[in-house]
A and B are shown apart, each in its own frame.
Chain A
Amino acid sequence: MNADASKENCISDADIVASLRSGDSACIEVLVARYQAPLLRYAFRLLGEPTAAEDVVQESFIRLLTSLEQLRDPTKLRSYLYQIATRLCRDQQRRPSRREQPVGEWESDALATCAPESTDERFYIADLLRRLNPRHAEVIVLRYYEDMDLATIACILNVPVGTVKSRLHSALRRLHDMLTEPEFVRRKAAVW
């Protein structure tokens, strides 16, 4: 297991891309092992629903394989994957059927989950993110959960760095308003 993990770490993103381009299927395992979980987390945080997030992840990998030639810089594999996932999440968000779906009403056999807590507490963050504008939620998740720098976020969202900064600023302000909203605080106070 450790040997597998160290082998996985030795292979760079550029190696994965080169290997996929040459038709080698061995690197798919490394690709999935490296990016499935982060992409699932990312998609879940944007969508708030694991089944939809799972679909997004699967579709992201398929789209990567079909559009591999469009990836000019193989070292940007991570950004490229997140870019695909972001677009797919936006498509999902636009679907009217999922807009009304409440946060937290899911369980999936295919997915393992973290330690269970009370439902409201577990989904407090998801609720916050869901109440944000989707464009603001994207920058918050990429910046503070995925720990990406502004240039990488700009690359993923295909916007200038200045736009990322302004979205982050607006998102933080909105988050602050939400956290200090009397109604929201009162509603959550019961949980704690």
Chain B
Amino acid sequence: MKKLWQAYVDAGLPQPDSAVLSKLEAALQAEHVPIPNSEAQEALLQRLKADQARLRPQAGTLSFRRQMLASRRSARYPGVVPARLAPLFAMVVPQMRLLSMSFWLATAVIMFLGGLLTSPALFERYHIAPLFIVAPLLAALGVAFAFRSYNSRVAAWEQSCPITPMQLVIGRLSVVVAYDIILGMISSLFTAWQGLPAPLVMIICAWLLPLIAFAAILLLFTIHLDSKSAAAIGVLIWLAFTLVTHGGSALLSLSLKSLAMALAPTIGLAVYSCRLAAARIKRWSMLQYAS
């Protein structure tokens, strides 16, 4: 009652007169509130104890995955990886093992070849930079290759692992896209060193933006269709992009500000694709468990 009185003072509200408050106090003292008796308490206890085993997180559920990840996080990479990054490593490392050696080698060879062929002489004569042409296509095909298992039985096995669909998508994308970006960076440095008439930042942006956009688009197609159809659509989009932008070289004529402005929607598209893909995988996995 004192607290209520004080509340009116603190809030700067007109206080009810003392007669009303004293009546309220009397009513508060007489207030009829149920109290659980021992039978009710015992019944609730029995119910909860009986339900506890049934209600515990089961394998295959999100809670189970979280529990498993939490228990393994600290133990897997002690001292080497910061605790905050440990879940990322826990996602990425198993994904790397799923991709065969031919994938790594083929990607590296094509990307380096693109970098080697991007000579200043070729660019000045034909306005073509093979690096800009191969980088987005490699990323797109890499995504289709990495996510091909969503239409195979491997997906059922993946769903039983203690990671969420979103973690799975990010883990797998990180492997493919990060590898392509690292190779592209090395090739860009080589190209700039050869004397391509453009700043290094522009060279990187010219292939990085299409790479991210293509990877995001192909992720959506691969998850919603199948990997072959997605790859076919990806190649068609890539062909159209190559023709319109003259093999990506047209991007070099844009200002750095325009490219930077294009980066935000591209990253937005990538995030949106990841979310849609994760939702799709989650819905798919729920249907699997339901059946």
A residues with CB within 8 A of B: 20-21, 23, 25, 28-29, 32-33, 36-37, 40-41, 44-45, 50, 53-54, 57-58, 61-62, 65-70, 108, 110-118, 121-126, 143-144, 168-169, 172-173, 176, 179-180, 185, 188, 192
Q: A114-B32, A144-B4 are in contact. Are A65 and B51 (CB under 8 A)?
A: yes
Assuming the contacts A62-B48, A121-B26, asked whether A176 and B32 have C-beta atoms less than 8 A apart, the reply is no
Q: Is the CB of A110 within 8 A of B37?
A: yes
Determine whether the beta carbon of B37 is less than 8 Å from that of A112.
Answer: yes
B44–A61 touching, CB < 8 Å: yes
- B43 — which chain A residues lie within 8 A by C-beta? 110
Which of these, A53, A144, A185, contacts B3 with CB under 8 Å? A144
Q: Say if the beta carbon of B105 comes within 8 Å of chain A.
A: no
Residues of A within 8 A of B4 (CB): 144
Chain B residues near A50 (CB-CB < 8 A): 34
Known: A54-B40, A169-B13, A172-B8. A40 touches B35 (CB 8 A): yes
B residues 25-77 touching A (CB-CB < 8 Å)? 26-28, 30-37, 39-41, 43-45, 47-49, 51-53, 55-57, 63, 66-67
Question: Is A111 a contact of B45 with CB atoms below 8 Å?
Answer: no
| Given A62-B48, A66-B55, A168-B11, also A125-B28 (CB < 8 A) | yes
- B27 to chain A: closest residue by CB: A124
* Of B16-24, B85-93, B115-123, B127-135, the one touching chain A: B16-24
**For the complex, what is the distance from the CA of A180 to the CA of B48, rounded to whole Å?**
46
Q: Confirm or deny: B7 has a beta carbon within 8 angstroms of a beta carbon on chain A.
A: yes
Top 9 A-B pairs, shortest CB-CB distance: A122-B32, A69-B63, A124-B27, A117-B30, A111-B34, A50-B34, A112-B37, A65-B55, A110-B40
CA distance A123 to B27 in the complex (A): 8
In this complex, which of B14, B33, B39 has the most chain A Cβ atoms within 10 angstroms of its Cβ?
A: B33
Question: Which residues of B come within 8 Å of A, CB atoms?
Answer: 3-4, 7-8, 11, 13-17, 20, 23-24, 26-28, 30-37, 39-41, 43-45, 47-49, 51-53, 55-57, 63, 66-67
- Looking at chain B's contact residues, is the secondary structure mostly helix, strand, loop, or mixed? helix
Q: A62-B51, A176-B13, A179-B24 are in contact. Are A111 and B35 (CB under 8 A)?
A: yes
With A33-B41, A168-B7 known to touch, is A125 a contact of B16 (CB < 8 Å)?
no
For A69, A115, A122, the residue with the greatest tally of chain B CB atoms inside 10 Å of its CB is A69
The reply to whether A113 and B32 form a contact with Cβ atoms under 8 Å apart is yes
Roughly how many angstroms separate A19 CA and B16 CA in the complex, as a whole number? 48
Could you tell me the distance between the alpha carbons of A25 and B48 in the complex, rounded to whole angstroms?
A: 9
Complex contacts, A124 vs chain B, CB 8 Å: 24, 27, 30-31
How far apart are the CA atoms of A28 and B37 in the complex, in Å? 17
Most B-side CB within 10 Å, residue of A108, A112, A116: A112
Q: Are B23 and A111 in contact (CB under 8 A)?
A: no
Q: Is the CB of B31 within 8 A of A125?
A: yes
From A54, which residue of chain B is reached at the shortest CB distance? Answer: B40
Contact of B30 with A179 in the complex, beta carbons under 8 Å: no
Choose among B32, B34, B40, B55 the residue that contacts A62 (Cβ–Cβ < 8 A): B55
CB pair A32 B56 closer than 8 Å? no
A54-B36, A114-B33, A172-B7 known; 11 new pairs, CB 8 Å cut-off, are A53-B34, A54-B34, A57-B36, A62-B48, A65-B55, A69-B63, A69-B66, A121-B26, A124-B24, A124-B31, A179-B20
- Which chain B residue has the least Cβ–Cβ distance from A62? B51
From residue B10, how far is it (CB to closest CB) to chain A in Å?
9
A114–B31 contact, CB under 8 A?
yes
B290 to chain A, nearest CB (A): 17
B84 to chain A, nearest CB (A): 15
